[in-house]
A and B are shown apart, each in its own frame.
Chain A
Amino acid sequence: MGVGWRTWSRTLAGIGIAAGVLLGIAVQAATPPNMLVMGTRLDDIITLDPAEVFEFSGAEVTANIYDRITMYEPENLTELVGGVVESWEIADDGKVITFKMRPGLTFHSGNPVRPEDAVYSLRRVVKLNKTPSFIVTQFGWTPENVDELVRVVDDEHFQIEITEDFSPGLVLNALSAGVGSVVDELEVEAHAVDDDMGYGWLKNNSAGSGAFKLVSWNANESVVLEHNPDYRHGAPAMERVILRHVPEPAAQRLLLEQGDIDIARTLTPDQVKGLAGNADLVLENFPKATLLYVAANASVPELSDPKVWEALKYLIDYDGMATSFLEGQYIPHQSFWGSGLWASADAKPYTLDVEKGKALLAEAGYPDGFSMTIDSLNTSPYMEMAESIQSTFADAGITAEIVPQDGSALWPKYRARRHQLILARWGPDYLDPHSNADSFASNPDNSPEAGLTGVLAWRNAWDDPEITAMTAAARSELDLDKRKALYEELQLRHQTNSPFAVIVQQNEQVVGRAGVEGFVSGPSFDLVFYRNVTK
Chain B
Amino acid sequence: MAEPPVAVSGAPSGAPSSSPRLEAWRRRGAGLARVLASLALTFLGLTAITFVIGRVMPLDPVLAIVGDRAPQDVYDAMYVQLGLDQPLYVQYLRYLGQILTGDFGISVQTGRPVLNDLMRFFPATLELATLATLLGVVIGVPAGVLAAVHQGKLIDHVVRVVGLIGYSMPVFWLGMVALLVFYAKLGWVPGPGRLSVFYDGMVPPVTGLLLVDSLIAGNATVFWNAVEHLILPVSILGAFALAYIARMTRSFMLDQLRQEYVLTARVKGLAERTVIWRHAFGNVLVQLITTIGLTYASLLEGSVLTETVFAWPGIGQYITNALFNSDMNAVIGGTIVVGTCFVGINMLSDALYRTVDPRAR
Query: Residues of A with Cβ closer than 8 Å to B?
Result: 1, 3-5, 7-8, 11, 15, 22-23, 25-26, 28-29, 31-32, 35, 37, 43, 46-47, 54-55, 129-131, 133-134, 203-204, 216, 218-222, 224, 242, 244-248, 250-251, 254-255, 257-258, 260, 406-409, 411-415, 429, 451-454
Segment from B21-29, B34-42, B181-189 that makes contact with A: B181-189
- Pull 27 A–B residue pairs with CB atoms less than 8 Å apart, ordered by A: A4-B273, A7-B142, A22-B231, A29-B196, A32-B198, A47-B111, A129-B77, A131-B67, A131-B69, A131-B71, A131-B74, A203-B111, A219-B112, A219-B117, A220-B313, A224-B201, A244-B197, A247-B317, A248-B308, A248-B309, A250-B176, A251-B309, A258-B183, A260-B191, A260-B197, A413-B58, A453-B75
Closest chain B residue, CB of each to CB of A415: B68
For A3, the chain B residues whose CB sits under 8 A away are 271-273, 276
Considering the complex of A and B, which 7 residue pairs feature the smallest CB-CB distances, nearest first?
A411-B68, A219-B110, A451-B72, A412-B60, A3-B273, A221-B313, A131-B70
Contact B60 A242 (CB under 8 A): no
For B75, the chain A residues whose CB sits under 8 A away are 453
Closest chain B residue, CB of each to CB of A47: B111
Contact A1 B59 (CB under 8 A): no
For B180, the chain A residues whose CB sits under 8 A away are 254
**How far is B73's CA from A254's CA once the two chains are assembled, in angstroms?**
45
For the complex formed, measure the closest distance between the CB of A219 and the CB atoms of chain B, giving whole angstroms: 4
**How far is B359's CA from A108's CA once the two chains are assembled, in angstroms?**
69
The winner among A22, A251, A409 for most chain B CB atoms within 10 A is: A251
For the complex formed, measure the closest distance between the CB of B56 and the CB atoms of chain A, giving whole angstroms: 13
The winner among B58, B183, B197, B325 for most chain A CB atoms within 10 A is: B197
For B139, the chain A residues whose CB sits under 8 A away are 11, 15
For A203, the chain B residues whose CB sits under 8 A away are 111-112
Contact of A454 (CB < 8 Å), options: B64, B69, B197: B69
**How far is B190's CA from A420's CA once the two chains are assembled, in angstroms?**
49
Contact B145 A4 (CB under 8 A): yes
Contact B109 A43 (CB under 8 A): yes
For the complex formed, measure the closest distance between the CB of B44 and the CB atoms of chain A, giving whole angstroms: 28
For the complex formed, measure the closest distance between the CB of B354 and the CB atoms of chain A, giving whole angstroms: 27
For A245, the chain B residues whose CB sits under 8 A away are 311, 313
Contact B111 A242 (CB under 8 A): no
For B72, the chain A residues whose CB sits under 8 A away are 451-454
Interface size on B, residues (CB 8 A): 71
For A219, the chain B residues whose CB sits under 8 A away are 107, 109-110, 112, 117, 313
Residues of B299-354 at the interface with A, using a CB-CB cut-off of 8 Å, are 308-311, 313, 317-318, 321, 324-326
Query: Residues of B with Cβ closer than 8 Å to A?
Result: 58-60, 63-75, 77, 107-112, 117, 120-121, 138-139, 142-143, 145-146, 149-150, 176, 179-180, 183-184, 187-194, 196-198, 200-201, 224, 227-228, 231, 271-273, 276, 308-311, 313, 317-318, 321, 324-326
Contact of A408 (CB < 8 Å), options: B64, B74, B318: B64
Known: A131-B74, A245-B311, A248-B308. A408 touches B324 (CB 8 A): yes
Closest chain B residue, CB of each to CB of A25: B224
Contact B65 A408 (CB under 8 A): no
Contact B69 A11 (CB under 8 A): no
Closest chain A residue, CB of each to CB of B109: A46
Contact A23 B188 (CB under 8 A): yes
Known: A251-B310, A453-B71. A31 touches B197 (CB 8 A): yes
Known: A4-B145, A409-B59. A429 touches B190 (CB 8 A): no
**How far is B264's CA from A511's CA once the two chains are assembled, in angstroms?**
71
Contact B111 A26 (CB under 8 A): no
Known: A54-B67, A408-B60. A220 touches B317 (CB 8 A): yes
Known: A129-B73, A244-B197, A408-B325. A26 touches B311 (CB 8 A): no
For the complex formed, measure the closest distance between the CB of A379 and the CB atoms of chain B, giving whole angstroms: 12
Contact A26 B74 (CB under 8 A): no
**How far is B310's CA from A405's CA once the two chains are assembled, in angstroms?**
26
Known: A46-B108, A46-B110. A254 touches B77 (CB 8 A): no
**How far is B192's CA from A222's CA once the two chains are assembled, in angstroms?**
13
For A7, the chain B residues whose CB sits under 8 A away are 142
Contact B189 A242 (CB under 8 A): no
Contact A244 B142 (CB under 8 A): no
For A46, the chain B residues whose CB sits under 8 A away are 64-65, 108-111
Contact B150 A1 (CB under 8 A): yes
Contact A11 B201 (CB under 8 A): no
Contact B308 A412 (CB under 8 A): no
For A130, the chain B residues whose CB sits under 8 A away are 66, 74
Contact A247 B228 (CB under 8 A): no
Contact B189 A55 (CB under 8 A): no
Contact A224 B200 (CB under 8 A): yes
12 more A-B residue pairs beyond the given contacts A35-B197, A454-B70, with a C-beta to C-beta distance below 8 A: A1-B149, A8-B143, A25-B224, A26-B187, A32-B198, A46-B111, A130-B66, A131-B70, A219-B110, A244-B311, A248-B308, A251-B309
**How far is B190's CA from A22's CA once the two chains are assembled, in angstroms?**
12
**How far is B121's CA from A22's CA once the two chains are assembled, in angstroms?**
25
Closest chain B residue, CB of each to CB of A416: B60
Contact A218 B120 (CB under 8 A): yes
For B63, the chain A residues whose CB sits under 8 A away are 408, 411-412, 415
**How far is B74's CA from A54's CA once the two chains are assembled, in angstroms?**
13
For B318, the chain A residues whose CB sits under 8 A away are 220
For B188, the chain A residues whose CB sits under 8 A away are 23, 26
**How far is B59's CA from A191's CA once the two chains are assembled, in angstroms?**
34
Contact of B121 (CB < 8 Å), options: A220, A224, A251: A220
Contact B190 A26 (CB under 8 A): yes
For A31, the chain B residues whose CB sits under 8 A away are 197
For A246, the chain B residues whose CB sits under 8 A away are 192-193, 311
Contact of A28 (CB < 8 Å), options: B110, B138, B187: B187
Contact of A8 (CB < 8 Å), options: B117, B146, B272, B308: B146
Contact B60 A411 (CB under 8 A): yes
**How far is B180's CA from A250's CA once the two chains are assembled, in angstroms?**
10
Contact B66 A4 (CB under 8 A): no
